[in-house]
A and B are shown apart, each in its own frame.
Chain A
Amino acid sequence: MAGVALENWVEQIRDPKIECMSRDEMSALQSERLVKQVKNVYDHVEFYRKKMDDLGVEPGDIKGIEDISKLPFTTKEDLRDHYPFGLLAVPQEQIVRVQGTSGTTGKLTLASYTQRDVDVWGECVARGLTMAGLTSKDRIHICYGYGLFTGGMGLDYGAHALGAMAIPMSAGNTKRQLMCMEDFGATAFACTPSYAVYLAEAAQEAGIVDRLQIKASINGAEPWTDEMRKKIESILHINTFDIYGLCEITGPGVAMDCIHHKGLHVHEDFFYPEILNPVDQTPCADGETGELVFTTLVKEGMPLLRYRTKDLTSIDHTTCECGRTLPRIQKFTGRTDDMKVIRGVNVFPTQVEAALLSMGGGVAPHYLMIVDRENNLDVLTVMVEVDEKYFSDEIRKLDELKSRVAAVLKQALGVSVRVKLVEPKTIQRSEGKAKRVIDNRVL
């Protein structure tokens, strides 16, 4: 228990030359890298050669980063169509690692890495760990899954690059996680935010919070709210940091927030971010919400041009209070494909979470949204856990709580909601990505 208050925080920057580079210098670096990358993919990836030919764009037309909008997009479907190794820009023997994600459709999205790609990945995560105040002296307990999922390996490479001690716990078995955390004197841990809440609650319940040496947690791979952050921080007395990434681009570490929590710093020397209007793909100004699109500027194994992440956010290019000039993307307002249209209203799971947390007690921030269609009308049911402290043997009191939750959700979402109260700790805490929505509609 050693969280640091903002006024006592000493910012450390791993690569000040890059992380605090002026906008002009950064643009020049990005331009140089983009020109090289475009020529590389045109020469080595048939998919991009065809796409560029179809658009009538030649590598020579790309003279700098400002020409990026001339380039074709890449979608997740393109990756699936060329699964597993159809988009490689190097001979397969240069690939040292693959990582992937299971999509909802069952087929994997696979990413291939050269040694250099792995090194860049580790460097990005190490920059992030430094942002979290960690150094080579720290012991980092990693309870992201190790496997095809990038979480475990990504944090591991980052800890390695930093020279810190990695504790490769992987996911699951909460009792053992807490035991090792205490015994090994872990000073930081990394996992999904929902699992971090679960771990924090479990540590509190076991009465071991005072015996832990944790000072920071790095949490990502699913959207979370400020209220969840406050919950983790207040139970464990630590600082928490938000990490973002996707395996198509590299894995966790594409962006991470600093102690000021004013958005996640994108490592734009490696991954060039664009925010585009989700309808017509025109660029959004700073502060405007749109789809996040990445171009990998130095990737060797599977370089991607203008990859559409489907994540909705906005960007801020002003210099951060921490001193970094790396632009900041805001917490995600959702994904273009997580968004549910219920009776014509756009609903994001994060809105439900924020609304539940805003009640300041009564219910836990764990929920499951179920969308059905009855008599041609969409019906949204939200299962919510009753907080143990508010549990009552009087049905009248539980009904009052239920009505209160329904009112808060209706206010937040703009659609009426059926609330179903369930027992504390019965909604599954995911150790990977939390399943928040079940859509039973046949659309």
Chain B
Amino acid sequence: MSINNTIQQLSVFLENTEGRLDEVLDILAKNDVNIVALSLADTSDYGMLRMIVSEPQKGRAALKDAGITAMLTDVVALRVPHATGSLSKAMHQIVEGDVNIEYMYAFANGTDAAAVLKSDDPGRVIDILKGSGFDVYSADEAYRANR
């Protein structure tokens, strides 16, 4: 079970082979899994595709059936108002709280933006953010963002 208020990210290991990304996106499309946000990290050997999708469990199952390695990762989606410096303030609180952020990516969500944060202690990140006046998206809100 995910920790309260964390959301599930669909993470996919992509071998550097021709058409692999296309294949993954095609499987998700055919299974009616909508991609809300994505980030693609690349290394010399492989890529790591990280996505917020409408139905993470369903997406993972569909990929697994096709022999693609996918996993679900607990992340936090921070609500960032469209105002200069708001992400900086939030990050400052996290640093003060002594938590490491492994990676981050962002997407626009209506009048706000969302910053997806992966840390080794997502529960603590949520406590810190909520305790300093920030809001995080619930799973439902994140999976249905911009719809």
Interface set of A (CB-CB < 8 Å, partner B): 386, 388, 391-396, 398-399, 402, 420-426
Query: B9 an interface residue at 8 Å Cβ cutoff?
Result: yes
- Given the complex, which residues of A lie within 8 Å of B69, measured CB to CB? 386, 388, 391, 423-424
B88 to chain A, nearest CB (A): 24
- Within residues 51 to 73 of chain B, which ones have a CB less than 8 A from any CB in chain A? 67-69, 71, 73
Query: B11 an interface residue at 8 Å Cβ cutoff?
Result: yes
- Given the complex, which residues of B lie within 8 Å of A386, measured CB to CB? 13, 69
- Given the complex, which residues of A lie within 8 Å of B11, measured CB to CB? 393
Instruction: Determine the distance from Cα of A391 to Cα of B15 in the docked complex, in whole angstroms.
Output: 13
The tally of CB-CB contacts under 8 A between chains A and B is 37
- Given the complex, which residues of B lie within 8 Å of A392, measured CB to CB? 71
Given contacts A394-B118, A422-B46, 12 further A-B contacts (CB under 8 A): A391-B69, A393-B9, A393-B11, A393-B50, A393-B118, A394-B103, A395-B43, A395-B48, A396-B102, A399-B43, A421-B45, A422-B15
Query: B41 an interface residue at 8 Å Cβ cutoff?
Result: yes
Instruction: Determine the distance from Cα of A421 to Cα of B41 in the docked complex, in whole angstroms.
Output: 15
B80 to chain A, nearest CB (A): 22
- Given the complex, which residues of B lie within 8 Å of A399, measured CB to CB? 43
Q: List 9 A-B contacts (CB under 8 A).
A: A386-B69, A391-B13, A393-B118, A394-B103, A394-B118, A395-B41, A396-B102, A421-B45, A425-B67
- Given the complex, which residues of B lie within 8 Å of A423, measured CB to CB? 13, 15, 68-69
Instruction: Determine the distance from Cα of A386 to Cα of B70 in the docked complex, in whole angstroms.
Output: 12
A420 engages B71 (CB within 8 Å) = no
A6 to chain B, nearest CB (A): 38
Beta-carbon nearest neighbor of B67 in chain A: A425
Central interface residue in A392, A398, A423, A425, by most chain B CB within 10 Å: A423
A30 to chain B, nearest CB (A): 53
Of A394, A395, A396, A426, the residue contacting B15 (CB under 8 A) is: A426
> Given A423-B15, A423-B69, A425-B67: A393 and B45 within 8 A (CB)?
no
Instruction: Determine the distance from Cα of A398 to Cα of B41 in the docked complex, in whole angstroms.
Output: 13
B102 engages A394 (CB within 8 Å) = yes
Interface set of B (CB-CB < 8 Å, partner A): 9, 11, 13, 15, 41, 43, 45-46, 48, 50, 67-69, 71, 73, 102-103, 118
B116 to chain A, nearest CB (A): 12
Q: Is the interface of A mostly helix, strand, loop or mixed?
A: mixed
Beta-carbon nearest neighbor of A385 in chain B: B69
Instruction: Determine the distance from Cα of A423 to Cα of B13 in the docked complex, in whole angstroms.
Output: 7
- Given the complex, which residues of B lie within 8 Å of A398, measured CB to CB? 46
Of B43, B71, B103, the residue contacting A391 (CB under 8 A) is: B71
Beta-carbon nearest neighbor of A420 in chain B: B45
Central interface residue in B46, B68, B71, B103, by most chain A CB within 10 Å: B46
Beta-carbon nearest neighbor of A388 in chain B: B69
A177 to chain B, nearest CB (A): 18
Instruction: Determine the distance from Cα of A157 to Cα of B103 in the docked complex, in whole angstroms.
Output: 61
- Given the complex, which residues of A lie within 8 Å of B118, measured CB to CB? 393-394
A19 to chain B, nearest CB (A): 46
Instruction: Determine the distance from Cα of A395 to Cα of B46 in the docked complex, in whole angstroms.
Output: 10
A393 engages B73 (CB within 8 Å) = yes
Instruction: Determine the distance from Cα of A396 to Cα of B45 in the docked complex, in whole angstroms.
Output: 13
Instruction: Determine the distance from Cα of A394 to Cα of B100 in the docked complex, in whole angstroms.
Output: 13
Central interface residue in A394, A399, A420, A421, by most chain B CB within 10 Å: A394
A79 to chain B, nearest CB (A): 40
> Given A393-B9, A393-B118, A426-B15: A421 and B71 within 8 A (CB)?
no
- Given the complex, which residues of B lie within 8 Å of A421, measured CB to CB? 45-46
B15 to chain A, nearest CB (A): 6
Instruction: Determine the distance from Cα of A396 to Cα of B9 in the docked complex, in whole angstroms.
Output: 18
> Given A421-B45, A421-B46: A393 and B15 within 8 A (CB)?
no
A423 to chain B, nearest CB (A): 5
- Given the complex, which residues of B lie within 8 Å of A422, measured CB to CB? 15, 46
Instruction: Determine the distance from Cα of A271 to Cα of B102 in the docked complex, in whole angstroms.
Output: 63
Instruction: Determine the distance from Cα of A424 to Cα of B63 in the docked complex, in whole angstroms.
Output: 13
B51 to chain A, nearest CB (A): 11
A393 engages B48 (CB within 8 Å) = yes
User: Which 3 residue pairs of A and B lie closest in terms of their CB atoms, listed nearest first?
Assistant: A393-B11, A423-B69, A393-B73
Beta-carbon nearest neighbor of B68 in chain A: A423
A388 to chain B, nearest CB (A): 7
B141 to chain A, nearest CB (A): 22
B54 to chain A, nearest CB (A): 19
Instruction: Determine the distance from Cα of A425 to Cα of B13 in the docked complex, in whole angstroms.
Output: 13
- Given the complex, which residues of A lie within 8 Å of B103, measured CB to CB? 394
- Given the complex, which residues of A lie within 8 Å of B43, measured CB to CB? 395, 399
A393 engages B67 (CB within 8 Å) = no
Instruction: Determine the distance from Cα of A386 to Cα of B48 in the docked complex, in whole angstroms.
Output: 14
Beta-carbon nearest neighbor of A394 in chain B: B102
- Given the complex, which residues of B lie within 8 Å of A391, measured CB to CB? 13, 69, 71
